[in-house]
């Protein structure tokens, strides 16, 4: 009996001790929360009664190399409604549907949605936003916002790209440099009571947005505008499918112009072509837009034709299988294995040295050079020149070169590649490789981004790009410059001559697949001055009607371009 009383007392003591410890722990926790963590929980309590409205940051501008603004911002408004604060819903519906041009049903659905805040419409013209604000409707919020604006409409549309409704980059430079351009959004904090109604006496608290950095690019607005004008002129007069023009500094890879017409209006990028069936499925509409937005200079590949003989000539000279004085005989064709491959001059060029074979763009000679090198060595130079890799241009969607695997290349495949057929590259790849051959042998990276600037115009970040030295020797590069100058001065590129200047270049006329379909691609690649290239340009005209030869269709485009931009760039005339 006594043992039971002792046991019962011990249990009571233990329980009392446990309860005391628990009380002390809770009391300690309460003191900790109310004293040491008081500020933290006070902030949480405030947040329960604060409603956040985001403020977009001003997106950084895009400037051309001279500081001309190519992408800017316009002030617009976002109109929203707060269910708990609306006092006269019918009046709100009437005003917003009329001012915003929305159906009554659409506005009613927004107004009657029970949520902390419901957006009715964004990117509203500021004048309309100001009018709505003047009505002073309870529960209606009009916040100023930013919308991307492109002062020159469709100029460089496929290079600059555009932004979406949230001001985030979707295409072109806008998406590549989105992180630098977008800035940091701010917010408006409004204090509300338990019912979600704004407490007027406490007003609003603003956290200001931080504007994005400006981006200065290598594009020159004047060169881009003139190149675009020439491209549209060729598109119309030759009834072509499309025209592409690239202009670049061969010494450092800076792109002065990149044109792929038809272009599109950057301020209305989702506009479908006139006559498009409005009832098309959304996927088909998007496919049409993707085609419109496609930048053919980097996204598309094509058979380069005779402009690629620049690569074969450089590889042949560098490897030693040919010299400028090497002699050949062209009967108008060459037999490779069981295949008879014709020269464009069916009667043949007869006896000629390598310089004149280049001036004549003689297929049998370039096939002979390729065969002398052999598949393995030619393929090595193909890789050495960077043709198996993307150029690394700072634009999205660059396509790869499409070429036979080395193990699948026989003599016939090597022969056709040697004069620019049976494989495909992008225009940016061709001009970059040619630039690297004539600039002394340095493989440059084509690019647009130069630097970012803060709001005061101070440089924040300067971009740098890889350079691969000695893809060919300086001697080979100098020989190539001299040979290509003769192509323009005395050979098939005569229509690329510019009075007072020494121009180097190469023409091309290639067929599109399948062969014999009557569709051609006319192109011309030119550079100036020939002795020390400071600018290189490529014009490609797809499926011109009537005359379709590169020397007659595309060379005059580059001639007109150079006549205007060489003096503009301060490149002096040649003193004979």
Residue numbers annotated as active site? 306
CA dihedral 364, 366, 371, 373 (to 10 degrees): 160
Q: Decide: residue 415, CB within 10 A, 0-12 exposed, 13-18 middle, 19+ buried.
A: buried
d(CA 389, CA 130): 54
The sign of the CA dihedral 491, 496, 499, 502 is: negative
d(CA 65, CA 220): 6
Nearest Cα to Cα of residue 312 among 419, 217, 235: 419
Residues in Cβ contact with 461 at an 8 Å cutoff, skipping those fewer than 6 apart? 180, 213, 451, 452
d(CA 402, CA 368): 23
Nearest Cα to Cα of residue 316 among 354, 361, 359, 290: 354
Strands of 50-55's sheet in order across: 50-55, 186-191, 204-207
Q: Are 209 and 57 in contact (CB under 8 A)?
A: yes
Q: Long-range contacts made by residues 27-32, C-beta under 8 angstroms, separation at least 24?
A: none
Q: Are 473 and 438 in contact (CB under 8 A)?
A: no
| ∠ Cα 435 438 443 (to 5°) | 50
Residues in Cβ contact with 506 at an 8 Å cutoff, skipping those fewer than 6 apart? 306, 307, 309, 310, 361, 434, 484, 487, 493, 524, 525
């Amino acid at each position: 009996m006594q043992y039971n009383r002792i046991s019962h007392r011990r249990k009571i003591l233990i329980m009392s001790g446990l309860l005391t410890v628990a009380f002390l722990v809770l009391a300690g926790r309460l003191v900790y929360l109310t004293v040491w963590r008081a500020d933290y929980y006070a902030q949480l309590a405030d947040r329960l009664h604060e409603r956040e409205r985001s403020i977009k940051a001003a997106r950084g501008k895009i400037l051309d190399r001279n500081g001309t603004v190519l992408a800017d911002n316009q002030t617009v408004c976002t109109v929203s409604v707060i269910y708990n604060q609306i006092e006269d819903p019918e009046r709100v519906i009437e005003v917003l549907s009329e001012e915003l041009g929305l159906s009554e049903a659409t506005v009613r659905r927004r107004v009657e949605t029970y949520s902390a805040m419901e957006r009715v419409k964004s990117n509203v013209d500021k004048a309309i936003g100001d009018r709505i604000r003047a009505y002073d409707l309870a529960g209606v919020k009009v916040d100023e916002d930013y919308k991307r604006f492109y002062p020159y409409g469709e100029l460089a549309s496929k290079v600059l790209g555009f932004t979406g409704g949230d001001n985030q980059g979707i295409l072109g430079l806008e998406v590549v440099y989105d992180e630098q351009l977008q800035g940091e959004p701010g917010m408006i904090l409004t204090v509300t009571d338990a019912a979600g109604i704004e407490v007027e006496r406490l007003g609003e608290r603003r956290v200001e947005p931080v504007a994005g950095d400006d981006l200065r690019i290598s594009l020159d607005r004047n060169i881009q505008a003139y190149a675009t004008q020439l491209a549209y002129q060729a598109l119309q007069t030759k009834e072509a499918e499309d025209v592409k023009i690239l202009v670049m500094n061969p010494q450092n890879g800076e792109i002065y112009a990149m044109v792929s017409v038809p272009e599109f209006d950057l301020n209305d990028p989702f506009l479908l072509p006139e006559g498009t069936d409005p009832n098309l499925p959304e996927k088909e509409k998007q496919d049409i837009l993707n085609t419109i937005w496609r930048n053919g200079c980097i996204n598309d590949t094509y058979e380069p034709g005779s402009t690629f003989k620049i690569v074969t000539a450089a590889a042949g000279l560098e490897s030693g299988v040919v010299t400028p004085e090497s002699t050949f005989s062209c009967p108008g064709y060459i037999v490779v294995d069981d295949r008879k491959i014709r020269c464009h001059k069916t009667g043949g060029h007869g006896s000629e040295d390598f310089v004149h074979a280049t001036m004549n763009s003689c297929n049998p000679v370039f096939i002979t050079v390729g065969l002398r090198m052999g598949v393995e060595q030619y393929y090595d130079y193909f890789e050495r020149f960077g043709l198996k890799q993307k150029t690394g241009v700072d634009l999205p969607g660059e396509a790869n070169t499409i070429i036979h695997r080395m193990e699948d290349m026989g003599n016939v495949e090597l022969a056709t590649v040697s004069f620019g057929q049976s494989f495909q590259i992008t225009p940016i790849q061709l001009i970059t490789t040619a630039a690297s051959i004539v600039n002394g042998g340095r493989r440059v990276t084509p690019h647009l981004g130069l630097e970012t600037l803060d709001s005061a115009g101070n440089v924040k970040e300067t971009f740098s790009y890889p350079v691969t030295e000695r893809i060919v020797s300086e001697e080979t590069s100098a020989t190539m410059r001299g040979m290509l100058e003769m192509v323009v001065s005395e050979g098939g590129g005569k229509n690329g001559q510019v009075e007072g200047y020494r121009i180097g270049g190469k023409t091309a006329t290639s067929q599109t697949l399948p062969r014999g379909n009557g569709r051609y691609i006319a192109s011309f690649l030119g550079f100036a001055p020939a002795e020390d290239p400071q600018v290189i340009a490529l014009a490609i005209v797809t499926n011109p009607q009537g005359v379709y030869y590169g020397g007659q269709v595309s060379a005059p485009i580059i001639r007109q371009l150079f006549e205007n931009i060489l003096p503009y760039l301060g490149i002096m005339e040649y003193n004979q």
